Structure 1
């Protein structure tokens, strides 16, 4: 089980990085924050977009925050607060990201 926030961040970021080859771009890729966006021109509920948030990961004071779509949900409902990372939590995160990618792909947002 990992408890060091930097190690947790780096482990999850490594799992997210392959998504850049699947059509996502990262705007921030620092030692404390990483995010992925789709920059495809799309329309959602009549609103035209040139960018759509997918996922972000950030080291906070006492945890790593993991945010995944959908944007419309309140922050507390879409953010995972990670203070320790075990295999079960890692698998949960990877499954959530894969499910999110599937939604983006089906909707042709990426």
Structure 2
């Protein structure tokens, strides 16, 4: 992807990276022009509590950035250790990345993070 700061292009590109994970128990609960959310709709027990679903990742176009909400890093903070600085520098709070500019390197880092998060959920039986 060519480097861009166009938030709509960034959002659509990230949604395309996330779409392949919309499989099995993972469903898009919201797939709108400015928001996209993926949830695993599987009954699981997390920290002793029964849940009917688990949030995986999502996107929201905000005023000055695209929010990439990535729950696997909230679940397992060790995932931060595998992020390259380009992605890690965008992390605001525990699980939200503010994406203002997209290029090939960042795209690959996010694709890798999505795969690692998917594998984590798979290993925990959440998918």
In the superposition, the TM-score normalised over structure 2's length comes to 0.81
Matched residue, 1:104: 121
1:41-80 → structure 2 map (5 Å cutoff):
41-70=43-72, 71=74, 76-80=93-97
In the other structure, the counterpart of 1:25 is 27
1:18, CA displacement in angstroms? 1.0
Give 1:78 deviation, angstroms. 1.3
Partner of 1:91: 108
Task: Determine the C-alpha separation between the residues in 1 that align with 2:24 and 2:93.
Answer: 28
**In 1: Cα distance, 2:102 partner to 2:67 partner:** 12
3-state SS of paired residue (1:28): strand
Structure 2: gaps of 5 or more residues: 78-91
Which segments of 5 or more consecutive residues in structure 1 lack a partner in the other structure? none
Shift of 1:44: 1.0
Structure 1 CA distance for aligned equivalents of residues 13 and 116 of structure 2: 19
Number of residue-to-residue matches in the alignment: 109
Greater than 3 Å deviation, 4+ residue runs: 70-73
Question: For the aligned residues, what is the CA RMSD?
Answer: 1.4
Q: How does 1:8-23 map to 2 (within 5 A)?
A: 8-23=10-25
Distance (Å, rounded) in 1 between the aligned partners of 2:104 and 2:96 = 19
